[in-house]
Chain A
């Protein structure tokens, strides 16, 4: 897994690009003045905040990342419809449950992305990552991390774990090469 290159003028190129685009979108204009201002901000802000940042893993496969994003967006739409049906249906028939999903990911950025996708996709909300960060010694690596999720309508625990691991975790591992 590679991390951000500590170049002096552009500590994090992606963050700079994001700042540039967000500034232009916020002002809703493409005038020369705003473009110059966006470039200045995109260079100064990452340099100013670089002492506070920890090194983030970079996206090794942008093409795959884009395909994964499309898959997640599609899943968000189906999730909305499914949850709407579950909510409008009889509440008595719902069988909620907590499930622990064993994680193969180790770095916190991919785990955060995975937890967020789980929260946005069908019937699941991520609740916690085990073991507790506070219970670990400094720079100690736990043997196995777990993601605790709450499921609105739990039918088959093992099938759900397999879906999350294959559909969301495997692409993330490939995207970040870890």
Chain B
């Protein structure tokens, strides 16, 4: 029974991570590419980690709790790394595609 749960979770997780990577290739400019990895992969990783938790809790005697920590650290670091990348992109004045609205909202840095 639990093999089914593990397989389904692995499939869903893999699909979301794949979609995130497709977004990385498909999007036309840097800022839009950033959306895939910061979001679509979070749920994918959550599914993969839950699968790992279910698997190891069933095959080994003790409960496996490390995955909770991994997902916590992922949730903490994903927005921050995204923020650092977009900040440096703005600093280097990376071109965004033409139909981007509100470009004048970006202020020059000091």
Contact = CB atoms under 8 A, between A and B. Distances in A.
Interface residues of A, number: 42
Contacts of A119: 38-39, 78-79, 82-83
A115 B76 CA distance: 12
B43 to A, nearest CB: 4
A131 B110 CA distance: 10
Contact of A84 (B19, B79, B96): B19
Interface string A84-100: 10111001001111111
A54 interface: no
A11 interface: no
A123 interface: yes
Nearest to A150: B31
A121 B16 CA distance: 15
Nearest to B107: A130
Interface-centre pick from B78, B101, B110 (highest chain A CB count, 10 A): B101
Contacts of A132: 107, 109-110
A148 B28 contact: no
Interface in B20-66: 20, 22-23, 26-29, 31-32, 34-36, 38-40, 42-44, 62, 64-66
Nearest to A26: B69
Contact of B87 (A95, A127, A135): A127
Nearest to A119: B79
Top 4 nearest A-B pairs (CB, nearest first) are: A97-B101, A80-B43, A119-B79, A87-B23
